[in-house]
Amino acid sequence: MSKAFTKEPSGDEDDDEDGGGLPPLPAGTKNYMTPAGYAALRAELLALIDVERPKIVEIVHWAASNGDRSENGDYLYGKKRLREIDRRIRFLTKRLDRAEVADPSAHHGHDQIFFGATVTYANSRGEERTITIKGIDEVDHLAGEVSWISPIARALLKAREGDEVRLQTPGGVETLEVLEVRYPAPAGG
């Protein structure tokens, strides 16, 4: 197939597209994350730069030396993989540049909800749920973590134990009662 009929990314497109389905950061805000979340993203970035990318570059170089590149699977796959790695590197670099590391243990012992809090709340039916408010790039929904920009987190932020907050849901307004607020203990404490 002629290259005239294939669309190759120009590299000028929005680099936030390789965030693994993550929502974009709200305009003009910092990228809040926990120290562990920052360390994980930084480790991924360094692994891509120091290990993965050089390995793929070596494969592409070897494949290119084998002759006809148009039908060389190793070469074609390698070039595609390099574009994916470079896109992810750009994404991670931008996210880390905007990062604002906030250590939740600074609020240990407090009952007001801030970034990093683990909150247990009950809805009007008495159903209890526990969530932890984290950064967009470090959330694990299966572990009960929500991003600080999610509707539930925005409703709970600044509330205290015993407070009732209103959450707008697709089914209408729901009242939630904050039962418990916890923060991790400071390191070495």
**Number of folded domains that form the chain:** 2
For residues 55 and 88, state if they share a domain.
yes
Q: What is the mean pLDDT of the chain?
A: 87
| CATH code of residue 63 | 1.10.287.180
**Would the pTM of this model clear 0.85, i.e. be above it?**
no
Write out pLDDT tens, residues 7-37. 444 443 444 556 666 667 777 778 899 999 9
Q: How many CB atoms neighbour CB 91 within 10 A? A: 21
Q: Can you point out the beta strands (E) in 123-185?
A: 128-134, 145-147, 164-169, 172-182
For residues 147 and 75, state if they share a domain.
no
Identify whether 2 is part of a domain: no
For residues 177 and 146, state if they share a domain.
yes
Identify whether 173 is part of a domain: yes
- Say which residues have a Cβ less than 8 Å from residue 36's Cβ, sequence separation at least 6: 138
Cα→Cα distances 133→146, 153, 159, 181, Å: 5, 6, 13, 11
Domain that holds residue 156: 104-182
| Tens digits of pLDDT across the chain (189 residues) | 444 444 444 443 444 556 666 667 777 778 899 999 999 999 999 999 999 999 999 989 988 888 777 778 888 899 999 999 999 999 999 999 999 999 999 998 899 999 999 999 999 999 999 999 999 999 999 999 999 999 999 999 999 999 999 999 998 999 999 999 999 998 865
Listed residue (52, 93, 59, 50) closest to 79, CA to CA:
59
DSSP designation for 120: E
For residues 18 and 96, state if they share a domain.
yes
Q: Of 101, 131, 150, which one is at a domain's C-terminal end?
A: 101
Identify whether 90 is part of a domain: yes
Identify whether 187 is part of a domain: no
For residues 41 and 90, state if they share a domain.
yes
